[in-house]
């Protein structure tokens, strides 16, 4: 029963995060927040796996470092999009513009 809690809850949270990412396509900020939610759920799954298998937590610290870099990159894209287009709607953003 405890193993079901260890693996079932993070997998359910991950699927909820995927659903949030697919359903929120209007604003870039909401998509970035749902991506960060998915990354935190993946970190939770990785942390549980490493603790159950008695491995070192060094890889989880590397994963957190890369996820922070990914978040900073997403925020910089959001700021540049707001500066050039005035909002974060995907409808006003044309990919064909240089």
Q: Judge contact between 21 and 31, C-beta under 8 A.
A: yes
What are the start-end ranges of the H helices in 1-98? Answer: 2-23, 28-52, 58-85
pLDDT of residue 95 exceeding 70, the answer is: no
Residues 27-76 have pLDDT tens digits of 888 888 899 999 999 998 888 888 888 888 788 888 989 999 999 998 99
The model's pTM = 0.80
Q: Which long-range contacts (CB under 8 A, 24 or more apart) does 41-45 make?
A: 41/10, 41/13, 41/14, 41/17, 42/14, 43/67, 44/10, 44/13, 45/10, 45/11, 45/14
Q: Which CATH number fits domain 2-85: 1.10.260.40, 1.10.10.60, 1.10.3720.10, 1.10.287.3510?
A: 1.10.287.3510
The reported pLDDT for the residue numbered 69 is 92
Map out the domains of the chain as residue ranges: 2-85
């Amino acid at each position: 029963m405890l193993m079901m809690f260890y693996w079932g809850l993070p997998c359910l949270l991950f699927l909820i995060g995927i659903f949030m990412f697919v359903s929120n396509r209007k604003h870039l900020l909401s998509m970035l927040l749902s991506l960060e939610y998915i990354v935190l759920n993946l970190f939770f799954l990785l942390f549980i796996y490493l603790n159950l298998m008695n491995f070192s937590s060094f890889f989880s610290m590397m994963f957190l470092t890369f996820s922070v870099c990914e978040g900073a990159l997403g925020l910089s894209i959001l700021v540049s999009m707001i500066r050039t287009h005035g909002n974060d709607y995907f409808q006003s953003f044309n990919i064909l513009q240089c």
